[in-house]
Amino acid sequence: MSDHYSALGVDRDASPDEIKKAYRKLARELHPDVNPDPASAEKFKSVTTAYEVLSDPAKRQSYDRGGDPFSQFGGGGANFGFGDIMDAFFGGGGSRGPRSRMREGQDALIRVEVDLAEACFGVDREFEVETAIACGKCHGNGCSAGTKPSTCDICKGRGEVQQVQRSFIGQVMTSRPCASCQGYGSVIKQPCSECAGDGRVRARKTIQVKIPAGVETGNRIQLTGQGEVGPGGGPAGDLYVEIVEREHPFLIRDGIDLHISLSIPVTSAALGGEVTIETLDGERTVSFKPGTQSGHRVVLKDLGITRLRGGGRGDLIAHLEVATPTKLSKEEEELLRKLATLRKEDGSSVSVHLLDEKADAGFFAKFRGAFHR
């Protein structure tokens, strides 16, 4: 009988970790894909057989007693676990075995609409969500009262079953999750009548969220542990609240600044004046000087949106557009003609000038004709 301990270069009292470490080292050196030498291939089969015996407690015990560790598989041949070879080459090492019924829950996402004032100053919201919560009847273990999961009869609690196939280098043993217990290693024979063994149920719960000042569409607020409870009563995921900002009737947001379009009569533009507007902070006055032209801007400091991080606020910018009358009474027309005569203005007074490339004509065009005050 081959000396499997010598093949791996370990002592007879070597621990499972020492055996696995020795096998990985030799497998990297001797595998046929790495070392095509025929002698190395034979040695590779020898060390994989040795590892298959010494890594399995039952086979190792049978071998130590002088028995045939492969008798249950119909005799000889080199047997090795494919997963262990992959571990040897790619540094795996996670222990195989039954997986836990308790798993982390999924994250959830909801969208919440806010108006412009709420986005600017922040708001506290309360709403209901439908989600998965821990089953109150079984407290997440999925079993009926007074019962517990039973060891799977098929895999004997290992959570996986093994299959032996013949290959060009001998018998290859592969492992796969047990179909009977889905890899848990145990079976719930008397599941909870409330959750059917899942450990959680669907329910509605109330969520409170503090929406900070300065948010805008697309911002997300993370509520840790407010998502769905995981299977088997596992820890809950997170809940993400995504902000959707409703459009304001006459204020347009651009980052932390607000914009408003004001249409003023041609006479007011010529003589100067002021107009009262509604802002997020109440009524404010916009003053303009005589001779105001279309495109003139009046900046009202600190009346914009609160900065999300760092404090402070943006500005409210009033865009002025001179409204030229389209319909005149006979008296109004006569007065304008007298004014034109006094100012010596006629068709020849029109001048051509270059556009200001720095002017944001596209942005201002969004306001044109939208508001009349």
Q: Is the pLDDT reported for residue 86 higher than 50?
A: no
The residue ranking higher by pLDDT, 68 or 57, is 57
- The pLDDT confidence band at residue 236, using thresholds 50, 70 and 90, is very high
Look at residue 73 in the predicted model and tell me its pLDDT.
40
Torsion angle of the four alpha carbons 26, 31, 34, 36, in this order, in degrees rounded to the nearest 10 = 120
Packing angle, helices 38-54 and 57-64, rounded to 10: 100
- Alpha-carbon gap, residue 298 to 258, rounded angstroms: 12
| 203 CA to centre of own chain | 23
- In CATH terms, is domain 108-144+199-245 a member of 3.30.70.2190? no
Look at residue 44 in the predicted model and tell me its pLDDT.
81
| CA separation, residue 11 to residues 5, 54, 314 (Å) | 6, 11, 75
Q: Where are the domains of the chain?
A: 4-90, 108-144+199-245, 252-365
Q: Is the pLDDT reported for residue 95 higher than 60?
A: no
Q: Are 184 and 158 within 8 A, CB to CB?
A: no
| CATH number, span 4-90 | 1.10.287.110
Look at residue 120 in the predicted model and tell me its pLDDT.
96
| CATH number, span 252-365 | 2.60.260.20
Give the residues across from 74 on adjacent strands: none
Q: How do residues 303-352 score in pLDDT, each as one tens digit?
A: 999 999 878 999 999 999 999 898 999 998 899 889 888 888 776 555 56
The chain-wide mean pLDDT, for the chain, equals 83
- The pLDDT confidence band at residue 299, using thresholds 50, 70 and 90, is very high
Q: 108: burial class by Cβ within 10 Å (0-12, 13-18, 19+)?
A: buried
What average pLDDT does this structure show over 260-280?
94
Look at residue 369 in the predicted model and tell me its pLDDT.
44
Look at residue 88 in the predicted model and tell me its pLDDT.
46
Amino acid of residue 161: V
Q: How do residues 132-177 score in pLDDT, each as one tens digit?
A: 999 999 999 999 999 999 999 999 999 988 877 666 556 667 778 8
Identical fold, 108-144+199-245 and 252-365:
yes
Look at residue 57 in the predicted model and tell me its pLDDT.
83
The residue ranking higher by pLDDT, 208 or 352, is 208
- The pLDDT confidence band at residue 71, using thresholds 50, 70 and 90, is low
- Alpha-carbon gap, residue 149 to 281, rounded angstroms: 63
Q: Are 328 and 291 within 8 A, CB to CB?
A: no
- The pLDDT confidence band at residue 3, using thresholds 50, 70 and 90, is confident
Look at residue 100 in the predicted model and tell me its pLDDT.
87
Look at residue 33 in the predicted model and tell me its pLDDT.
61
